[in-house]
């Protein structure tokens, strides 16, 4: 049983004109052999983009890519023919398979865009590239499954101040504060936006929101 707390201030940071990215795991020039991933999760980036700024067309293969928008909107295009405006409350899942190219740019006219994107190792390599985007009907005070990929589940909880949530019992859990804050608990001092828990074999953990909060939770069977 282990509980690891990763603070927002510990994340690697990449900045460019109009873009500020914070990496939860080692990425690119930011190498840390002790922080390469968590289960099949190999990338968990939070991007803050100015309008019209983003990532021009680039290629991926053998990755499951899951995107959750916290503020603003992302304009997505890819080689499957998809062209979508992804807004808060929508989950985007891209299976790169044998290879895709895609581009993601912050929409204009909606202010700064902030989104979290996770990359996961697929259960099997190759396969036909695919794309899906859909609305997620969040229920206040509850965890809602937004996607199931790479043998894991991506769940989101929208909490009001004072709401207490019991996390799943899955052996591996990555719990990220996308918005808001959690109050002090037996496990940690308060967690704020950008902080995360990493649980291994710690079932039935309860967390309580200090203010309106959005939690992004990945669970894996271990």
Instruction: Enumerate domains of the chain plus CATH numbers.
Output: 12-135 (2.60.120.10), 143-220 (2.60.120.10)
User: Number of C-alpha atoms within 13 angstroms, CB side, residue 39?
Assistant: 26
Alpha-carbon span 108 to 121, nearest angstrom: 32
DSSP, collapsed to helix, strand or coil, labels residue 9 as helix
pLDDT per position in the chain (222 positions), as tens?
A: 899 999 999 999 999 999 999 999 999 889 999 999 999 999 999 999 999 999 999 999 999 999 999 999 999 999 999 999 999 999 999 999 999 999 999 999 999 999 999 999 999 999 999 999 999 999 999 999 999 999 999 999 999 999 999 999 999 999 999 999 999 998 899 999 999 999 999 999 999 999 999 999 999 997
Residues facing residue 64 across a β-bridge:
95, 120
Local structure of residue 8 (DSSP, 8 states): G
Q: Dihedrals φ, ψ of 52, to 5°? A: 80, 0
* Predicted pLDDT of residue 186: 87
Q: Which residues of 5-19 are buried (b: 16+ CB within 10 A; e: fewer)?
A: ebebeebbeeeeeee
Alpha-carbon span 24 to 174, nearest angstrom: 11
Cα–Cα nearest to 8, from 119, 154, 142, 116? 116
Residues facing residue 144 across a β-bridge:
156
Statement: the pTM of the whole predicted model exceeds 0.85 = yes
Alpha-carbon span 185 to 100, nearest angstrom: 43
Alpha-carbon span 62 to 67, nearest angstrom: 16
* Predicted pLDDT of residue 158: 98
* Predicted pLDDT of residue 28: 86
């Amino acid at each position: 049983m282990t509980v690891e707390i990763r603070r927002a201030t510990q994340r690697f940071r990449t900045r460019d004109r109009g873009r500020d990215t914070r990496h939860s795991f080692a990425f690119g020039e930011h190498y840390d052999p002790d922080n390469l991933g968590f289960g099949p999760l190999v990338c968990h980036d939070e991007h803050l983009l100015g309008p019209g700024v983003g990532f021009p067309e680039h290629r991926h293969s053998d990755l499951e890519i899951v995107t959750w928008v916290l503020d603003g909107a992302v304009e997505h295009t890819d080689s499957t023919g998809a062209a979508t405006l992804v807004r808060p409350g929508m989950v985007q899942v891209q299976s790169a398979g044998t290879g895709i190219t895609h581009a993601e740019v912050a929409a204009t006219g909606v202010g700064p865009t902030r989104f979290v994107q996770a990359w996961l190792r697929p259960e099997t390599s190759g396969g036909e590239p695919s794309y899906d985007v859909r609305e997620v009907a969040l229920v206040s005070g509850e965890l809602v499954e937004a996607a199931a990929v790479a043998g894991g589940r991506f769940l989101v909880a929208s909490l009001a101040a004072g709401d207490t949530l019991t996390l799943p019992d899955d052996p591996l859990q990555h719990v990220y504060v996308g918005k808001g804050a959690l109050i002090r608990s037996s496990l940690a001092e308060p967690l704020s936006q950008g902080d995360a828990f990493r649980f291994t074999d710690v079932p039935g953990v309860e967390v309580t929101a200090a203010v309106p909060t959005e939690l992004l939770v990945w669970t894996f069977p271990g």
